[in-house]
Each structure stands twice: as structure tokens, then as C-alpha cells.
Structure 1
Amino acid sequence: MATLSDFPTPNPNPSPSFRPPTDQSDNGPESLPHMDPPPSSDPNPIPTPNSTPHFNTPSDAIAPAAPPPSLLHLSFNQDHGCFAVGIDHGFRIYNCDPFREIFRRDFNRGGGIGVVEMLFRCNILALVGGGPDPQYPPNKVMIWDDHQSRCIGELSFRSEVRSVRLRRDRIVVVLEQKIFVYNFADLKLLHQIETIANPKGLCAVSQGAGSLVLVCPGLQKGQVRVEHYASKRTKFIMAHDSRIACFALSQDGQLLATTSTKGTLVRIYNTVDGSLLQEVELFVRRGADRAEIYSLAFSSNAQWLAVSSDKGTVHVFSLKINGGSPGIVRSHNAAEPVTSPHSSLSFIKGVLPKYFSSEWSVAQFRLVEGSQYIVAFGHQKNTVVILGIDGSFYRCQYDPVNGGEMTQLEYHNFLKPDAAF
């Protein structure tokens, strides 16, 4: 069930907290979704929330004596310039560069938020309740308008919501074994997709100006499904023998990075024809070690791929894909740094095992092993941003020519109540 509250249309301009930096041109107010109110005869308008406290400024933050909040959700926005945190009594939004808290919303009684999905930097958010005392039912997606400081719509389901993905024209809701695609303007259901069991809520959508490309698990182990909505084509890719653990989509939706529960290889596919473009090795000793991959991220130009895992290391790989000839893996030449000890063997890759034709990482950053981190590329050249479920924030720089260990540029803990912003 989908409903829109009978309120005025949300502010067409982003709130000051969400206004994009002057060097970003794709987040202008003309691109915000328009939420039309329903007909006056709508029998189920969403009621006004009982508690509507205003966002607190950082100076009104939790007193230093209070214990740190329990983190329920952590994610970047679509351009990786901000990240959202769901906690046991509200949610917070942070800017990445420079690092600072933009705002927070704390609920008076309980109020756990298990999913916070931003829409770039505009005033619209998607919220799902979570934790032992959820603010909203875990089977509902609440469309929040920060300008009005209230929910303006909701989507209700028969089972818990695992994740939400937003575009300026679509809302994608992921359940355990089904995905729903809605039109953002009127919350009209456009498409339903059945998937294999998907407890992590794996789903990725393109964020470029073109038509929607959506990637989700297929109906078989190791399979991914690619929906090209412009051409109305569905492509199934048998990416791995084991279950899919993680995947990422490039901004334009043309490249897909996948990894399985084995955690030894990352594969790059062309989403149009499903061809394997490149394979990267996560560990030197093939088969001797496995990792749980927490996140994959393409750089904005799809030249680099970042990977975080439970091994306490974030890797950055160079993608050797010729953009002008999809499906062609470009080998190293004499003018390029040799980032893989096996690249010189590419001329006999058909004879050697796949291990000898895969790539190793260019740069690495060491973290606490066993802790969970997600990673994205920063807006500054050759930088990555790393977020940990322990509240850690790292911004690091890598050397694209010489590789090696990354340089740590800054560190913060965004969950510490006495943190200064």
C-alpha cells in the first residue's frame, strides 16, 4: 500500500543543510522529485507523526556524559559527498569533505532508525524503523521531507524492508525475496522483481542522467539480474559459483563489480551483454584465505575500484577497461606502472589458470581486522573515505603511480558524544 499525505508539495529547493557545494552542478533544485498530493477522496492519508521535534544544531548535541548511541545503519549518499547514520534514537547526516555533522534528529522516546536513504543533498529522505524500539514499523518506508520536518508519504509491505534505493525519478524498496520499483512523483508501482533470499537487501541502481539500470540477485545462487529500463531488457549473469556477497554499479550503469561469499575474487562485468571484462585478486595466496566483502565502490570515472573486507584492509584496484571498446581488457604497457606481478603473462592467459590473468591491488590501507567498514571515493582526487560501524571516519589518499600504503589525511569518530564538529 502506498499513500501520500494531503499536504502541500515539498519545498522545491533544498534546505540549507543539504545545499550542494558550488563545484557540484548535478544537484540543483530543478532535479528534485515532485511529490503530488493525492486526490481529496484518498481514504488513507498518512497521519501526522505524534512527535515532531526539530533538528538540533551540533551545539545542541547529546551531553558528553551520555553513552554513545547504538549504530543501526550506515550508508553514503549517491555522490558519496555525505553519509547517513541510523541510530537507536534517531538519525544523523554528515558531510565528508570537510568532515562535519550537518544535522541530527533525536526522538524523545526510543525511535530507532534502521534505514536512512538520502537523495543526493535534497530535503527528501527515506526512513525505515529499526532496532529494539523502532520509530516506525520495520515493514514501512516513510518518505521524510526535511523542509516540513514531517513524513509526507509511506509505503507499506507484508514483510520487513531490507533496504531502500532512491533516484530522482524512482523509489526502489528491497524485501527478503522481492523488489518493488515505484515512480517518485505519485508512488505508483511500476515493477515487481522476485529474487533469491536476500537478507542483506542487495540492490544497486544507476545514478547517471540516463535511464534506470537496476541490479539485484537473481533466482539462482551466484546469479545477478540486470534490468535495463530504457530498452526494457533483462540480463542474467552467472557471476559466481557461490552466493553473491556484494556488488556495485558504476554511475552510468555500464559496469558491474561482483564478489561471492568465497571472498577471493572481484569480477567486473559489462551490464549490457554480460561479458566478463576483468578479474581482480583479493589475496596473494589463491584459495588459502577467504574474506567477507563488506563493500565495493567505483570511482566517478570508473577508473578505480575500492574494496573493504573483514581482513582489516581497504584495497584500491586499477580498472584496465578500455572505455571506447567495452569488453576489452587493456593490458599494461611499458609506460604504465606494473601493479600486478602477473600482467606480463597476459599473452598466455589462455594457458595459465585465471589467477595468473587477474590483477592485484594498487594501494592499501590497514584497519582493525574483524571490524566492518564501507568505502567510497572522495571528491578530492585520489582519495577514499572509509566508514566503520564503530563510528570511525577515515579520509585517505593513494598514489596512482607508485601505489603502496595510503596516506591517512584525517580521522574522526562520529559516534562519540564529545566529538567536536
Structure 2
Amino acid sequence: MRALRFNQDATCCVIASKMGDISIYNCDPFGKCFELDAKKNSTNTTDDMTDSTTFQSNDMSNLYVDQGEYIVEMLFSTSLIAVVDRSTGTIKGKKLKIINTKRRSTICELVFPSEIADVVMNRKRMCVLLENDQIYIYDISCMKPLETISLWNDGSGKNDSHDRTHPFNDSIKKSEEGKTRDRRNSVRSRIRPRITLSNEDRSILCYTSYSVSKHKRDQPLLKDVVVYDAINIKPINYLSSVHKGNIACMALSQDGKLLTTASEKGTIIRVFNTGIDTKFDGKNPLYCEFRRGSRPSNLYQLIFDRSSTYVGCVGDTGTIHIFKLKTDNNLSTLNVDAGETGEITSYESFRNKSTATDPSRQIANYLSQTIKAKIPNQNLDRDFAHINVKEGTRYCLGFPEEYINQVYLAGDDGNFRIYALPSVPGSCVLTKSSSFM
């Protein structure tokens, strides 16, 4: 398979075959409810699994794709899907189609100035990330463009060369922007800008932001996160240096209150408060953190369940991890790796923050961080549950809202599996298996 993902509530799974055929499956009961046949240039739709209809879709022929070259985002269990075909060159890669599978028609086509890297949406907003490091925000009810965000700006729409997160001079900025134009397959790359959108109507958007250190000004890192209100179109908070390296994977909880992240190393999974509540202590945004393992891993997916009780983690190893969040976390007593945990502030406070501090406190803080940084943190909680899988197969994890003690697992080996979560830490139990073939 060349594309594989669940919709927001894990009621459906979307796949694209090696030949580019797009199919949507109901998860419970398992069965195909939509198919786009690239060979026949047609689309087959089954409404309520009883009626099958065919219509011509010539624009979607020749859909042979590589992994990551095809983007399909489904809006919950509705008939609305967003489709991007990156497999046939840069021109088609700039076009996004909104398709109504029930009416068997293309609602609209949006053409962007650069190739599309990712699409996320909920019932209120659709956000499109481009290869040129821009984010377009749309009102999904009428597909009206609301805002364009540049990751090279400060998020408020105004360039600020004095902002410490974006101290790029013109030469550095042009150099890095040139790199984005050359990364044809960056949609498949772990190290690229990331966006995630909360599923609820509050529409909290989080996206990675570039950060430059004083000693490596020519090597910006994607280790900061902007928390953005996509309804009122304004930045809310800023998480600085949530990891030492680039953020390779992240996800928001359903209500947008929690953000989970992982770096390119993939050994530590962190969960942060986004600070969207009115009363919040921004000095310590870290909610909890887990150790996935000691060996580096390429992580494909992080995901919260509906109640923000579990965080699922999928990578290229033979184990899928499920971590359990503790509701009685004491933020002030967390054992944290020095130098990797960020600070969250209001966006305006971040921009206007004074650099003047007490020299004695600066020295004490420097010494404590230097000492802690030399001590590896091995006491972090491990996973609560896990699923042993075959290495070399790509998987996608889903938490069904109706069945809180189950997880869905789809693999590009053509199998769909349902597992039961254990009552005590241990391995998940396979309860049902089906095939996409």
C-alpha cells in the first residue's frame, strides 16, 4: 500500500494501493464503502453497504504512487475527503481536490503556489502545509481562505529579525528557503515541518517553528512549537526547545489541551500542556514523558485516544507502544532531561520577554543544567501496553471512540486487526483480524 491512515475517530481506514486505487473501509463492521479505480478511471461508492454506483473521474488516472506521495484526509465518517496526488510531478502536487464520495463529485479544487506536504482538517477548519513552509487555513464550510502563515515569520504575520527564534539574516533565510524547494520528497522525510489540528470545534493548531542557536546560526532546527487558535486566527502560546533535535512526530489531543512530541532520535515521548486554558502556569509545560526505548527509531505516528488516557506510538521497530497518562501528575516533581524541556508562554509575552535576569540565578541555573545534562535519565516510565509486529511493515494505529478498551491496527501487508488493551501492563490481545485484499 502507498497510503494508509485512519480518519479522526477511527471509524474508517483510508488506503491507496500500489496502482494508486483509493479505498475507504468501515472498521466496524469491517468492509469496503468507497473505491476509486485508477485503471478504469472510475469511482465506486457503496452507501450504507447496499448500493454501488460508478461515475467517471478522468482527472484521477495514472495514480501510481510511492509511500507518502499520495495524501488522503477524511473528515470523520462523513463523505468528504481531501486528495492530493504528488506522484506525477510538481504541478499535480500543488492541487488539492475536495471530493464528496456520497454524491460522487468533486466539490472544489484548490491550487497552491508550492507542493502540498500535509493536510489536516476538522469540522470547522482545514489547514494545508506546503513545501515552501507556508500554512493555509480555510473555513471548511465554504472553503474560504482565512490566513496564510509563514514558518519563517514569527507567526503574527510580521517579520521580526530580532526575535530570538528567527534571527535569520537574509542570506540564511534565502539559503534555507532554497532547500525547501529542492526537497521533492520531503513529505516522506521525518525531518520536515509538522502540523497537527485538534478534532474538536475549538480548532487548536500546532505547528513546528524554526529555532536558531547562537553557535549554529546556519543550522536552524525544528524544535519549537507554536500553539495557534485557528478559529480566531491568532497565536496563543509558544513552546520553546521541546527537544534537543528536530521534532519528527507530534499529535494533539481531541480537545487541543495536550500535545505529544518526539524528536528525530525517537527515544523519548513527551506530553505538554498547550496552555490554551485561561489559568495556566507557563513555567513548566511538561505534563509527562516516557521512554520508548534506548535505540533510535524512525517514528511514523503519535496519537491520543478520545479521553487523553493513552498515547500510541508507531515506528519502524518490531513493537508498537501504548503509553498511559497519569491523571495525578505533579508537574513540579517530574524528572526531566536538562536542556530538552521547553517553556511555554503567551505569544505576546514571548515576543516582549526581557533578557535581563539575576546573574547569580543565571550561574546556578547553568551549573545545574550542565550537571544534569551529563546524567542520562533512565527512570522514565515505559509503555503500559505493546503490540509485537513484523519489522519492515508500515502500520497505522487508531483508537475507536465507541470501544475505549480496543485499538485498531492497519498494516501495508493488507491486514486490519483489532486488539484489546490489557487491564494491567502487558501485551495487547488480538481479538479479530480482517484483510484489505
Q: Same fold (TM over 0.5)?
A: yes
Task: Give the C-alpha shift of residue 328 in structure 1.
Answer: 6.6
Amino acid at match of 2:269: V
Q: 1:165 aligns with which of 117, 120, 126?
A: 120
Classify 1:351/1:111 alpha carbon distance in 2 versus 1 (closer, same or farther; 3 Å): closer
Amino acid at match of 2:236: T
Amino acid at match of 2:286: L
Question: In the aligned structure 2, how far is the partner of 1:351 from the partner of 1:195?
Answer: 30
Task: Give the C-alpha shift of residue 186 in structure 1.
Answer: 2.8
Question: In the aligned structure 2, how far is the partner of 1:305 from the partner of 1:355?
Answer: 20
Q: Aligned runs of 1:124-143 on 2, under 5 Å?
A: 124-132=80-88, 137-143=92-98
- Residue 281 of structure 1 aligns with which residue? 291
1:205 pairs with 2:197: yes
Q: Deviations over 1:319-350 (max 9, x none)?
A: 0144xx8957799xxxxxxxxxxxxxxxxxx9
- Residue 104 of structure 2 aligns with which residue? 149
- Residue 246 of structure 1 aligns with which residue? 249
Task: Extract structure 1 runs of 4+ deviating beyond 4 A.
Answer: 325-331, 350-354
Q: Aligned runs of 1:328-343 on 2, under 5 Å?
A: none
Amino acid at match of 2:30: F
Q: Is the 8 A contact 1:278 1:329 kept in 2?
A: no
Structure 2 gaps of 5+ residues are 42-60, 153-179, 181-185, 212-220, 276-281, 336-371
Q: Aligned runs of 1:209-358 on 2, under 5 Å?
A: 209=201, 211-220=202-211, 221=221, 222-229=223-230, 232-237=234-239, 238-272=241-275, 273=282, 275-283=285-293, 286=294, 289-322=295-328, 327=331, 353=375, 355-358=377-380
Q: How many residues align structurally? A: 318
Q: 1:187 aligns with which of 138, 143, 149?
A: 143
Task: Give the C-alpha shift of residue 317 in structure 1.
Answer: 1.0
Q: Is the 8 A contact 2:34 2:101 kept in 1?
A: no
Among the aligned pairs, what percent are the same residue?
Answer: 29
SS at match of 2:377: helix
- RMSD of aligned alpha carbons: 2.7
Q: Aligned runs of 1:49-64 on 2, under 5 Å?
A: none
Amino acid at match of 1:156: V
TM-score, normalised to structure 1's length?
0.69
Question: In the aligned structure 1, how far is the partner of 2:16 from the partner of 2:373?
Answer: 50
SS at match of 1:226: strand
* Larger helix percent: 2
- Residue 344 of structure 1 aligns with which residue? none
Structure 1 gaps of 5+ residues are 1-70, 332-349, 417-421
Classify 1:251/1:354 alpha carbon distance in 2 versus 1 (closer, same or farther; 3 Å): farther
- Residue 434 of structure 2 aligns with which residue? 412
Classify 1:255/1:412 alpha carbon distance in 2 versus 1 (closer, same or farther; 3 Å): same
Classify 1:351/1:148 alpha carbon distance in 2 versus 1 (closer, same or farther; 3 Å): closer
Question: In the aligned structure 2, how far is the partner of 1:377 from the partner of 1:413?
Answer: 19
Q: Is the 8 A contact 1:278 1:321 kept in 2?
A: no
Task: Give the C-alpha shift of residue 117 in structure 1.
Answer: 1.1
1:74 pairs with 2:4: yes
Classify 1:98/1:328 alpha carbon distance in 2 versus 1 (closer, same or farther; 3 Å): farther
Q: Deviations over 1:248-297 (max 9, x none)?
A: 110000000000110100000001147011110011xx4xx111111111
Q: Is the 8 A contact 1:194 1:219 kept in 2?
A: no
Q: Deviations over 1:227-265 (max 9, x none)?
A: 134673332222111111111110000000000110100
SS at match of 1:137: helix
Classify 1:171/1:141 alpha carbon distance in 2 versus 1 (closer, same or farther; 3 Å): same
TM-score, normalised to structure 2's length?
0.67
- Residue 99 of structure 1 aligns with which residue? 30
- Residue 5 of structure 1 aligns with which residue? none
1:399 pairs with 2:330: no
Task: Give the C-alpha shift of residue 382 in structure 1.
Answer: 1.7
Question: In the aligned structure 2, how far is the partner of 1:373 from the partner of 1:132?
Answer: 25
Task: Give the C-alpha shift of residue 131 in structure 1.
Answer: 2.9
Question: In the aligned structure 1, how far is the partner of 2:88 from the partner of 2:333?
Answer: 48
Task: Give the C-alpha shift of residue 77 in structure 1.
Answer: 0.8
